[in-house]
Amino acid sequence: MDDVEVGQADIAVVPAEFDGPVVLLDVREDDEWQRGHVAGAQHIPMGDVPARIAEIDPDAELYVICHAGGRSLRVANYLARNGYTPINVEGGMLAWAGAGRAVVTDSGQPGTV
């Protein structure tokens, strides 16, 4: 199956806050999420996306992120084939943290990538 063209976003153009019409979908595994994630992000591990796709707002401005950008690109391609218009975050959480953006834990404490 041919991959559709998925948008790529440099961390500099990715919004810093997420709510309502702008969604950051974090597709990392549970242990990665627990160590640290973006406040307000939606968490669905990559392997769970097909079963949980209905939880993802098809009308949202949708950014997809993982640790370094590989898994999120695969998920973005999958979502694009299913009617979404996702944007892959180049460099993933490594780029997010590298840009000095906040990483938190579920308790709101500073997290790690």
| Residues labelled as active-site residues | 66
**Contact partners, residue 51, CB within 8 Å, separation at least 6:** none
Q: Which two tokens stand for residue 68?
A: 């370094």
Question: Which spans in the chain are helix H?
Answer: 30-35, 49-52, 70-81, 92-98
Cα–Cα distance for residue pair 47/85, rounded to 1 Å: 19
Supply the DSSP symbol for 39.
T
Cα–Cα distance for residue pair 59/75, rounded to 1 Å: 17
- Distance between first and last Cα of the chain: 33
